[in-house]
């Protein structure tokens, strides 16, 4: 997957018009999909009891189809997204001076997207995806170690539980600190086929 026209990094504190398309700006901020240093993302969902829930996931990929993350079909987030496919994401990237916030709806990945994300995961993370179950978590340590060791002999194919989603934004907000003035946000909201933007206090 390639990022939308990356180009030179737009300075959020500069005067003048920001890019009309927030995907262009997000493409400038985020690492390429084949960069092994993946952004750690706080993913917020609505819990099945109606209260908020959140956890960390890796941003697997990003392009105009959305912000992708991958997980186990048996996980709580998957049940929550089945009941309510809205989600929020917070990406603190690449350090504490920049933050990207996304709100929108998730759509499940297709087979090709799942295969690409699986191929991009490290050997360690593929092993984890194969054996990271509640059943294993409940076992004594010696049995959990044996379960982990057993994954080394398994075929390299996708874990049966491997699923992924794209968060398709309705709103994208870029936040940037500055050494000599207040932090500032640039908020994009979907407006028909395009976007409208506004500056907001940090």
* Tokens (6 digits) for 84: 């309510």
Among 147, 154, 106, 104, residue whose Cα is nearest residue 126: 154
- 66-74, 99-107, 108-116, 158-166 -> range binding ligand FMN (CB under 6 A): 66-74
Binds ligand FMN by CB under 6 A, chosen from 20, 55, 122, 157? 55
The least CB distance from residue 186 to ligand FMN, in Å, is 27
Place of tokens 């593929």: 126
Binds ligand FMN by CB under 6 A, chosen from 3, 12, 39, 71? 71
In total, the chain counts a number of residues equal to: 202
Does residue 56 touch ligand FMN according to CB under 6 A? yes
Q: Which is nearer to ligand FMN, 25 or 68 (CB)?
A: 68
User: Which whole-number Å values give the CA distances from 97 to 82, 84, 89, 189, in the listed order?
Assistant: 34, 32, 17, 22
User: Which whole-number Å values give the CA distances from 123 to 13, 16, 70, 71, 173, in the listed order?
Assistant: 41, 45, 15, 15, 34
Does residue 158 touch ligand FMN according to CB under 6 A? no
Does residue 58 touch ligand FMN according to CB under 6 A? yes
Does residue 199 touch ligand FMN according to CB under 6 A? no
Residue 126 near residue 151, CB atoms below 8 Å: no
Q: Which is nearer to ligand FMN, 40 or 199 (CB)?
A: 40
Q: From the centroid of its chain, how far is CA 19? A: 22
Binds ligand FMN by CB under 6 A, chosen from 21, 46, 47, 76? 76
- 2-10, 28-36, 56-64, 133-141 -> range binding ligand FMN (CB under 6 A): 56-64
Supply the angle between the helices 123-131 and 141-151 in degrees, to the nearest 10.
120
Give residues in contact with ligand FMN (CB under 6 A).
Answer: 40, 55-58, 69-72, 75-77
């Amino acid at each position: 997957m390639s990022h939308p026209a990356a180009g030179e990094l737009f300075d959020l504190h500069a005067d003048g018009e920001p890019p009309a398309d927030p995907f262009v700006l997000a493409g400038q901020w985020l690492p390429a999909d084949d960069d092994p240093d993946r952004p750690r993302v706080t993913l917020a969902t609505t819990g099945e009891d109606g209260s908020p829930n959140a956890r960390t996931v890796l941003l697997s990929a990003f392009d105009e189809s959305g912000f992708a993350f991958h997980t186990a079909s048996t996980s709580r987030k998957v049940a929550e997204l089945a009941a309510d496919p809205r989600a929020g994401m917070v990406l603190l990237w690449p350090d504490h001076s920049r933050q990207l916030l996304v709100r929108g709806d998730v759509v499940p990945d297709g087979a090709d997207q799942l295969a690409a994300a699986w191929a991009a995961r490290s050997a360690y993370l593929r092993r984890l995806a194969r054996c990271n179950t509640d059943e294993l978590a409940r076992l004594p340590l010696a049995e959990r170690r044996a379960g982990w060791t057993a994954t080394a002999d398994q075929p390299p194919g996708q874990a049966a539980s491997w699923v992924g989603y794209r968060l398709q934004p309705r709103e994208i907000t870029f936040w940037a600190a500055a050494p000599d003035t207040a932090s500032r946000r640039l908020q994009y909201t979907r407006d028909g086929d395009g976007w409208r933007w506004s500056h907001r206090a940090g």
